[in-house]
């Protein structure tokens, strides 16, 4: 029997609009869209705007006629790209089998990693959803299935902000009641052609002989429709090559801040997040880079080198704070901070000489235990005390 895959499809809900609502919480409960105001099209609309019939791709002038009071936010593609990269780094902590299908969706093949992650795909997916919300303030819907096709349909069924699991034995019962345009690649023109043939649901296609479909739709398309109608999709998740041998994370404050305690706390949070991602990928590094973006959008970076390769939060945080203190800033208004570790190497290929007085079990074992708890129970399961104190983090959105 063929080994079944476990594929996740993660889809950011109303991505551009969600990112803007995370930056400005006042937009969350009013109709709004990202796009041009007088000219152009709607790129992304939040759910209150969709109540009025506003959808992506609609001319902005029509959207304003449908809802005259709608708020319009001009797109900030640089920021959307930064958020997308940060979300992708969350996926990379699970497995290297990650395919970013677009700026706001990804396929993740957990087949070989599932046992290491605890064996429960739904629990892993909920952990991903919680972590993306915690780090970026945006919701995502996740579908789980035995193929890319089924996982993508499941994530659509899970919207908004939900999770849908389609087990292999349930594929046909899930798939067959759907309309024909639910099938990948079936747009308006193809759907109309299928309707003229009397085929309204996926079940109708599945019950039509392959040869009949091929005569009507063409050999390639007809065969593909038949296969997909029976849930057959052998396409693999295409693992992406990392752009650089580095791992990091960054946080944009909800409001610019000159509070050094807030900044220091966020540097600790970024160090912890970066270290966790390094451990998930079994990587260590010696070069720590701190980036600081100011209210006027100018950015500076400072880099330091540790004595030995590490994946421990304490080591990375100490170096990042040393770099921060060397800046000697006085009441500078900070917009964003980031911590990155560069020139990584596989942990299996490195060796660190322990100190003679070092205990057999120390921070390495403690942080591994924390990683397991976070993976199972979510990002807030175990945190350093400083990160749990109220008022130590600038609000997001």
Average pLDDT score, the chain: 87
β 105-109/7-12 pair status: antiparallel
Question: Which tokens belong to 244?
Answer: 């650089």
Cα 260 to Cα 185: distance, rounded to the nearest angstrom? 52
DSSP 67-123: -TT-EEE---HHHHHHHHHHHHHHHHTT-S-EEEEETTEEEEE-TTTTTTTTS-HHH
State the first-to-last Cα distance of the chain, in angstroms, to the nearest integer.
50
Cα 163 to Cα 322: distance, rounded to the nearest angstrom? 42
User: What are 336-355's pLDDT values in tens digits?
Assistant: 899 999 888 888 776 555 55
Catalytic-labelled residue, pool 105, 135, 266, 319: 105
Name the residue with higher pLDDT: 17 or 392: 17
Residue 211 has pLDDT above 60, yes or no: yes
List Cα–Cα distances, 178 to 150, 221, 230, in angstroms.
12, 19, 12
Cα 187 to Cα 189: distance, rounded to the nearest angstrom? 6
The CATH homologous superfamily to which domain 176-229 belongs is 5' to 3' exonuclease, C-terminal subdomain (1.10.150.20)
At 392, the pLDDT band (50, 70, 90 cuts) reads: very low
What is the rounded average pLDDT of the residues 253-269? 90
Cα 390 to Cα 324: distance, rounded to the nearest angstrom? 23
CATH topology for 246-388? Dna Ligase; domain 1 (3.30.1490)
The angle, 0 to 180 degrees and rounded to 10, between the axes of the packed helices 313-326 and 363-377 is: 100
At 223, the pLDDT band (50, 70, 90 cuts) reads: very high
Contacting residues for 206 by C-beta, under 8 A, at least 6 apart: 176, 226, 229, 230
Q: Which of 2-6, 16-20, 83-87 has the highest mean pLDDT?
A: 16-20
Residue 388 has pLDDT above 70, yes or no: no
Picking from 75, 73, 32, 72, the residue whose alpha carbon sits closest to that of residue 51 is 32
Residue 282 has pLDDT above 90, yes or no: no
- Apex 246 CA angle, 245 and 250, nearest 5: 155
User: Where is average pLDDT lowest: 76-90, 175-189, 243-257, 267-281?
Assistant: 243-257
Task: Mark out the alpha helices in 218-310 (DSSP H runs).
Answer: 219-229, 260-280
Residue 36 has pLDDT above 80, yes or no: yes
Backbone φ/ψ region at 119: left (φ over 0), alpha (ψ -120 to 50), beta:
left
What is the rounded average pLDDT of the residues 283-289? 92
What local confidence, expressed as pLDDT, does residue 393 receive? 45
Q: Which of 25-29, 150-154, 237-241 has the highest mean pLDDT?
A: 150-154
pTM of the model: 0.71
At 124, the pLDDT band (50, 70, 90 cuts) reads: very high
Name the residue with higher pLDDT: 358 or 293: 293
Question: Which tokens belong to 373?
Answer: 């708890």
What is the rounded average pLDDT of the residues 150-158? 96
Cα 254 to Cα 383: distance, rounded to the nearest angstrom? 21
Q: Which of 26-30, 162-166, 257-261 has the highest mean pLDDT?
A: 162-166
The CATH number corresponding to 1-171 among 3.30.1700.10, 3.30.70.270, 3.30.70.100, 1.20.140.10 equals 3.30.70.270
- Residue spans of the domains in the chain: they are 1-171, 176-229, 246-388
Contacting residues for 189 by C-beta, under 8 A, at least 6 apart: none
The answer to whether the bond into 160 is cis (omega within 30° of 0) is: yes
357 annotated as belonging to a binding site for a ligand: no
CB 138 within 8 A of CB 18: yes
The angle, 0 to 180 degrees and rounded to 10, between the axes of the packed helices 260-280 and 363-377 is: 90
Q: Which of 108-117, 128-137, 194-203 has the highest mean pLDDT?
A: 194-203
Is 33 exposed, middle or buried, given 0-12, 13-18 or 19+ CB atoms closer than 10 A? buried
3-state helix, strand, coil in the chain (%, to 5): 40, 20, 35
What is the rounded average pLDDT of the residues 281-302? 89
- For the question of residue 358 being annotated catalytic, the response is no
11 annotated as belonging to a binding site for a ligand: yes
pLDDT above 70 coverage of the chain, percent? 87
Alpha carbons within 13 A on the beta-carbon side of 101: 15
What is the rounded average pLDDT of the residues 109-133? 91
At 184, the pLDDT band (50, 70, 90 cuts) reads: confident
Name the residue with higher pLDDT: 199 or 78: 199
What local confidence, expressed as pLDDT, does residue 175 receive? 97
CB 310 within 8 A of CB 285: yes
């Amino acid at each position: 029997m063929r080994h079944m895959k476990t594929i996740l499809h993660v889809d950011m809900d109303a991505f551009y609009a969600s990112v803007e609502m995370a930056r400005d919480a006042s937009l969350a409960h009013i109709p709004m869209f990202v796009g041009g105001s007088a000219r152009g099209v709607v790129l992304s609309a939040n759910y209150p705007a969709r109540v009025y019939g506003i959808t992506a791709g609609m001319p902005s002038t029509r959207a304003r006629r449908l809802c005259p009071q709608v708020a319009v936010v001009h797109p900030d593609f640089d920021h959307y790209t930064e958020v997308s990269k940060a979300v992708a780094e969350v996926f990379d902590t699970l497995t290297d089998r990650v395919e970013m299908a677009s700026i706001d969706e990804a396929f993740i093949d957990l087949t070989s990693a599932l046992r290491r992650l605890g064996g429960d795909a739904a629990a892993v997916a909920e952990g991903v959803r919680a972590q993306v919300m915690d780090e970026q303030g945006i919701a995502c819907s996740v579908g789980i299935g035995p193929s890319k096709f089924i996982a993508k349909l499941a994530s659509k069924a899970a919207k908004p902000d939900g999770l849908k699991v389609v087990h292999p034995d349930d594929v046909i019962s899930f798939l067959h009641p759907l309309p024909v345009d639910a099938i990948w690649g079936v747009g308006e023109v193809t759907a109309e052609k299928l309707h003229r043939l009397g085929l309204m649901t996926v079940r109708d296609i599945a019950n039509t002989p392959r040869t009949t479909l091929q005569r009507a739709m063409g050999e390639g398309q007809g065969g593909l429709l038949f296969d997909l109608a029976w849930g057959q999709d052998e396409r693999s998740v295409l693992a992406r090559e990392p752009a650089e041998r580095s791992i990091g994370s960054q946080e944009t404050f909800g409001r610019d801040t000159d509070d050094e305690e807030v900044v220091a706390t966020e540097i600790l949070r970024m160090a912890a997040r970066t270290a966790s991602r390094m451990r998930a990928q079994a990587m260590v590094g010696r070069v720590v880079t701190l980036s600081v973006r100011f209210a006027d959008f100018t950015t500076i970076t400072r880099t330091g080198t540790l004595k030995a390769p590490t994946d421990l939060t304490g080591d990375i945080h100490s170096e990042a704070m040393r770099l921060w203190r060397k800046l000697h800033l006085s009441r500078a208004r900070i917009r964003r901070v980031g911590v990155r570790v560069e020139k990584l190497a596989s942990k299996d290929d490195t060796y660190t000489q322990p100190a003679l007085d070092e205990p057999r079990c120390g921070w390495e074992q403690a942080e591994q235990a924390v990683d397991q708890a976070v993976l199972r129970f979510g990002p807030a399961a175990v945190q350093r005390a400083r990160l749990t104190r109220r008022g130590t983090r600038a609000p997001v959105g």
